[in-house]
Amino acid sequence: MQDLKGKVAIVTGGSRGIGRHIALQLAQRGADVAINYRSRQSDADETLKEIEASGVRAIAIKADLSKMPEARSMIKEVHEKWGRIDILVNNAGITKDKSMKKLTDDDWNDVLDTNLGSVYATCSEVLNIMLEQKFGRIINITSFVGQAGNFGQANYAASKGGIIAFTKTMALEVAKHNITVNAIAPGFTETEMLAQVPENIREKIIARVPMGRFGQPEEIARAVVFLAAEGDYITGQQINVNGGVYM
């Protein structure tokens, strides 16, 4: 199915994990895809090759999105290169987990700047482009932790809850211009982010998930691509892809 042919997509943090699968599935549907990464170029190069195998155009842009000027430059670079931006997937994210007793100002700021500041900066930069096109699909990756909270993740939960509130507000402001803004809220998903968690805690996590297993990045990506390709009348929503861990 090539229903995204002619569309240009950006996937932040698209070099590995959930973002990689989002980028690959968008490419399989025919979109040209720009992926972004912060530091691990070999992952980006590998994903780039896989995207190109779908016969679409692909670029990888190194940018630290915790810095707003770099996030804005990334959007400008794609627009200058390909002349439009139809789909923006804000997926880049980090954790720095500590209980409130141990959390430092740097832990707070790094996570808020990366996870939430980047979403504001890319959305604000892409806005005029999408307004001019009278078309845009923005999908922000939040987390069930932004809905439910989670021990040791005050910074991460605040960033992800902020994404949900931001998504609804931007959706309201741009709805009449044929720009939709939605959030996907994954549950525990098998990527390197989850691999950082010690094995004994992973077992406890699985016990919390009604479906009895972690999510796969492909499963999150399918929901993102649905919104990008078929979600024309869906805006301001948070769609949970979480195995039932939060209902």
Ligand X SMILES: NC(=O)c1ccc[n+]([C@@H]2O[C@H](COP(=O)([O-])OP(=O)(O)OC[C@H]3O[C@@H](n4cnc5c(N)ncnc54)[C@H](OP(=O)(O)O)[C@@H]3O)[C@@H](O)[C@H]2O)c1
Catalytic residue numbers read 156
Burial category of 217 from C-beta neighbours within 10 Å (exposed 0-12, middle 13-18, buried 19 and up): buried
Number of residues that bind ligand X (CB under 6 A): 31
Contact 133, 86 (CB under 8 A): yes
Under DSSP, the state recorded for 177 is: G
C-alpha dist (Å) from residue 80 to 10, 74, 77, 101, 166: 13, 10, 5, 46, 27
Binding mask of the shown chain, residues 26 to 65, with x at each position contacting ligand X by CB under 6 A: ----------xxxxx--x-------------------xxx
Contact 114, 162 (CB under 8 A): no
Residue from 17, 136, 231, 243 that binds ligand X (CB under 6 A)? 17
Q: In this chain, which stretch among 130-138, 165-173, 182-190, 227-235 interacts with ligand X, using CB under 6 A?
A: 182-190
Our finding on whether 107 is near ligand X (CB under 6 A) is: no
Our finding on whether 161 is near ligand X (CB under 6 A) is: no
Residue from 28, 114, 147, 153 that binds ligand X (CB under 6 A)? 114
Sort strands 136-141 and 87-90 into parallel, antiparallel or unpaired: parallel
Question: SS3 of 224, please?
Answer: helix
Residue from 132, 173, 192, 230 that binds ligand X (CB under 6 A)? 192
Around Cβ 175, how many Cβ atoms within 10 Å? 13
Give the nearest distance from C-beta 66 to ligand X in angstroms: 4
Residue from 78, 141, 174, 223 that binds ligand X (CB under 6 A)? 141
Give the nearest distance from C-beta 84 to ligand X in angstroms: 22
Our finding on whether 143 is near ligand X (CB under 6 A) is: yes
Sort strands 58-62 and 8-11 into parallel, antiparallel or unpaired: unpaired
- Within 8 A by CB and 6+ apart from 103, the residues are 154, 155
* Token pair in block for residue 183: 């959030």
Give the nearest distance from C-beta 15 to ligand X in angstroms: 4
Residue from 186, 229, 231, 240 that binds ligand X (CB under 6 A)? 186
Our finding on whether 136 is near ligand X (CB under 6 A) is: no
Q: How far is CA 14 from the centre of its chain?
A: 8
* Token pair in block for residue 46: 């590998």
Residue from 66, 147, 153, 180 that binds ligand X (CB under 6 A)? 66
Rounded to an integer, what distance in angstroms lies between the CA atom of residue 118 and that of residue 20?
18
Our finding on whether 191 is near ligand X (CB under 6 A) is: yes
Q: What is the binding site for ligand X (CB under 6 A)?
A: 12-13, 15-19, 36-40, 43, 63-66, 91-94, 114, 141, 143, 186, 188-189, 191-194
